[in-house]
Structure 1
Amino acid sequence: MASSDVIQVSSLPQPPMQYINLYTDEQIRRGRAPKPPPPIQDSYHMFGNAFNTEESIIRPLESQGIKRLYPLHFDRRRELKKLNQSLLANFLDLLDLLVNCPDSPRRAEKVEDLGLLFIHIHHLLNEFRPHQARETLRVMMELQKRQRIETANRFQKHFDRVSDILQQAIQNLPEPMELDSKIMVDDFIIKQENKGNARGDSDPCYILDRIMCNVVDNMS
C-alpha cells in the first residue's frame, strides 16, 4: 500500500466510539482532547433535512411541504385518537387490496396515506415534547427539594441532640465554690502527705483533723 493511501485513510472521520475515546480523563487533563465544534449560526442539516436556527424547535407542517389533516385549533388527544383510527382503517384497506387485487394502483395511494398519517402522529407527539421536558424538570426540582428538606430535618435532629447533650453536661458541672473547695482539699491532702512522708509522721488522725478544719473554714 502506498503512503498516500495511508494518509487518505487516516484522514477519514473516525467512528463514533473512537471519537469518544479521545475524551478520556487523561486527555482532558493534558489538554489534548479535541475542542467542541463552534455553535451553528445560520442553518444545518440533520437526518437529511435542512434546519434554520431562527426557526422554532418544532416546525409547522406547512413549512415542511406537508398537507395538514387537522385544523389550527384542535384538541391533541382527540386528534391523536382520530389519526390512530384512520391509520387502522387505512391499514385494513391496504390488506384488503393486497388480498383481492394486489396490482391495483390504489395500493400506492394507501401507502402514501399511511405515511401521511404517521407523519401527523409523529408531529403531534413532538409537540408534546416541550411539555414533557417542563414536567420532567418540575419532577426533578421537587425531588431535589424533598431531598434537601430531609437533609435539613436530619441536621436539625442532630443539632438538637448535641444541644441536649451539652445542656446536660453543663447542668452536671459542680458549683464554683464546691469545685474550689475540692481542689483546695485535694491540694492540702497532697501537701500533708508529702510533709508526713518527709518527717516520718504518718498519723492519719492528725491529717483528717486538719482536713476537716480546712473544710469548715472554707464553708464559713
Structure 2
Amino acid sequence: MDSETIEVGSTFPAPPSQYKYFSQDNLDLLEGLPTDIPATKEAFVEWYNKTKGEDIDVDLRTTLVKPRVDWILEDGYYSAYGELWPLKESLPSLKESGVEQLYPDDLPVYLDKKPVLHSLLRTILMTHFDITRELTAAPPPLNADPLSRVRDKIEHIRLTGINMHHIINELRPMQAKETLNYLQQQQQDKRKTKIEEIKAKHEEIRQNIATLQQASAQTIERVTKENSLNAEQTDTTIETTNKSNASNINQLLELINDL
C-alpha cells in the first residue's frame, strides 16, 4: 500500500495498475457475463476463478465500466494523480483560506488594486524599518524571549506578503490577457515588417529590371548605329577601291596604245 501511495505521488507516476485488466478477453468476458452473479467482489472473483482458472483481485464489473461523467459534474471535482481537482477553477478568498485580509472587499476592478499593493508594500517597508530599529535598542534580559519585541512585526510582514500575493494572483487573468495581446501584437508587427521587406525587395527588383531594360535598349541602339556606320564605311571603301582599280586599268590601256 505504501508503494502504491509513493507511486501515485511521484513526479512521473506510472499508469494506474487497472490498465492491465483492459484486455480484449476481459471485455468480451464482461459482455457475456451471467446476470445471476451476486453484485459483490467475492462472488465475481469466485466465478472468474472457476471460469478462467486464474486468480483476480478486482471486480471487472466496476473496473471496466466507463467513468460516470454525471457523477463528476454532480460532485464538482475529479481525482487525478492522488489529488482532487475542481471542475471550475476559482481562487479561494483569504477568509476561506483562514488568513486575515488587510484590504477592503469592495475593490471593483483589477486596476483599482494598484494603490492597495503600494500601500501593502509601504507597510512591509515600514515594518522592516521598525524591526531594524529594534535591533539597535538595548538587548532584552537573558531570561526573556529574544524575539518578543519583533515576533509580531515578523508575523505582520508574513501576513502582508500573503495579502500581496493573493492580490497578484487575482491579477493573473488580466496578465494572461495582456500577454496574449502583446504576443498577437508582436506577431502582427513581425508580419508587417516582413510585408514591408517584401515590398521593398519587389521595388528594388523592379528598378533593377527597368535599369537592365534601359541599358539593353541603349546597347542595342549603339550596336545598331555602329553596324550601320561600319556598313557605310565598307561601301565607301569598296567604291574608292573600285575607282582606283578602274583608273589603274585605264592608265595601263593608254600605255599599251602608245606602244
Larger Rg computed on CA atoms: 2
Higher relative contact order (CA 8 A, sep 6+): 2
TM tier, shorter chain?
A: 0.3 to 0.5
